[in-house]
A and B are shown apart, each in its own frame.
Chain A
Amino acid sequence: MNLIKLLDTICPDTKSSEEKDLFFSRRESFRKFGDFGKKVALAAVPLAILSSLPRIAKADTASLIGVLNYALTLEHLEYRYYQMGLDSGVINAADRVIFQKIRDHELAHVKFLQEVIGNVLKGTPVAEPKFDFTAKGNFKPFSDYPTFLALSQAFEDTGVRAYKGQAANVMESDVVLTAALSIHSVEARHASMVRRLRTKKGLDTAKGWISNGSIGSLPAATQAIYAGEENVMHAGVNVVSLTGLDATAVSEAWDEPLNKEQVLGIASLFLA
């Protein structure tokens, strides 16, 4: 039995909302979004709970919709890339199970974000852009498997940085923040897998984590995706000096964010 269900059973929720406020005293903005109660705190953010989002200030809603439409644009890019990759036959038979799983997640993210933007926040989800994954003829990802893998790594590592860069912009909504974090770690799992897959095939020496700001053997056009990843300063602490560990290991232990402009700059290479 789930411990939390157990606690719920033992301790039925009979408090008035005022009393709850005392117990749930939290950052100020939480109250703006109403008291979701402890169930939200424990749930994996199902849509049913998202749908129960109370009415929130228009400006905040607009801001959330903006961030989520930005995320949706990236998810469209990723989903379309993997679907075209799977359709093209470029992927080695043995690796299809990996990319089918990644494709499934990206499609789920597209649908989830469309649902939240459209049916929960009552906004308009952005339409899927037209993509050019050859970047004007520079790449042939759907006929050359190493290129397919290289761009996959680039997209996944970009996705991780993009979500990370938006965390603070959605923290006014617990539900949206938690959903964003829950997508963010899935993208990181994808990135780790694809990076290691490339190395196993002798295409790179990349590890599952990003060493310094290195692009490895990726095309030079991907430089912006890794810029800043060499950082070893966190909250004013130089972790290399603190620990005596090598800078490479420390750089690997923290992933860095990218802001919207940086990410859209990268993504624009692949817009038709």
Chain B
Amino acid sequence: MKNELIKPSGLVMNSDRRLFLKRGSLSVAAAGLLMIGCNDDEQIPMNPAVSLGSGDTGILNYAYALEQLEAAFYAAVIKGGYFANANAEEKQIMGDIEKHERAHREFFKAALGKAAIEDLEVNFSSIDFGSRSSVLGAAKTFEDLGVAAYNGAGKFLVSADLLLIAGKIVSVEARHAAAIRDLINPGSADFAGDDLIDVNGLERTLSFSQVLTAASAYVITPLDFSQLPS
């Protein structure tokens, strides 16, 4: 699961690290290198990318980007063939989550005001919205990713108020994730599976670069997170 999430197509196709870095589509990763102070005198190409900004605003934009992705996904789900033929329980779950993610997206947009990033362009061509397993598999990926993203970003927030708001949202994402996982493998322990939760009972966290790399499989708009805290 973890590997599947952090394996961007660019990385899979290019085992050569230098080549990987030169790929403009991965300016996100390049920005990460700059942040950790790499003394690499190689020129790192920077495509025109949407900057998330810095500080708490940058983290809110990071959350906003993820919520945009989730909201766009569920908007497509409820228009698709799987949803049209889903049973009552699954219709309710998907319909509810679509509303929740739309609410999250609109909230962040309003909270950010003029600092909000633009609407992201997404590409869900790898998802078959007529297929239950394809939709639920993607939903699981997005929900688990969202939880790990919020859990990983929390410590970088300076504002206690924003930390609380992030906390209010992440537990709902975790509720979604558990429900989706139970739809995939009903009645099992997968809702809080060992693929995510370690021997200390702690759920995994993912860094900005891990999350955005995973998201880049579905987000066309290049994102520059180089000013985010680290």
Q: What is A's interface to B at a CB cutoff of 8 Å?
A: 1-4, 6-7, 9-11, 13-15, 19-20, 23-27, 38, 41-42, 44-47, 94-95, 97-98, 100-102, 104-109, 111-112, 160, 163-164, 167-168, 171, 174, 177-179, 181-193, 196, 207-209, 234-235, 237, 239, 242-243, 245-246, 249-250, 252-257
Contact = CB atoms under 8 A, between A and B. Distances in A.
Contacts of B157: 171
A206 B134 CA distance: 27
A2 B167 CA distance: 27
19 contacts: A6-B17, A7-B29, A10-B17, A10-B21, A24-B229, A41-B152, A98-B187, A112-B200, A112-B201, A112-B202, A167-B163, A177-B155, A181-B167, A182-B202, A184-B171, A189-B192, A190-B191, A193-B192, A255-B172
B191 to A, nearest CB: 4
A5 B117 CA distance: 29
A97 B187 contact: yes
Among B188, B202, B229, max chain A CB count under 10 A is at: B202
Given A4-B209, A183-B201, A253-B169, A178 B179 contact: no
A164 B175 CA distance: 14
Nearest to B106: A243
A252 B171 CA distance: 11
B191 A167 contact: no
A44 B178 contact: no
Interface residues of B, number: 77
B144 to A, nearest CB: 10
B37 A235 contact: no
A243 B32 CA distance: 35
Interface in B123-170: 147, 150-152, 154-158, 160-165, 167-170
B205 A168 contact: no
B230 A41 contact: yes
B49 interface: no
Contact of A167 (B104, B154, B203): B154
Contacts of B3: 2
Given A27-B229, A185-B174, 9 more contacts: A3-B6, A4-B207, A13-B36, A19-B37, A98-B187, A185-B147, A188-B170, A188-B172, A255-B167
Nearest to B40: A11
Contacts of A167: 154, 160, 163-164, 167
A189 B191 contact: yes
Contacts of A6: 11, 17
A252 B40 CA distance: 48
A106 B29 CA distance: 37
A185 to B, nearest CB: 4
Among B151, B200, B203, B209, max chain A CB count under 10 A is at: B200
A253 B99 contact: yes
Given A192-B175, A242-B106, A245-B102, A207 B210 contact: no
Contacts of A254: 165, 168-169, 172
Interface string B188-217: 110110000111111111010110010000
B167 A207 contact: no
A27 B167 contact: no
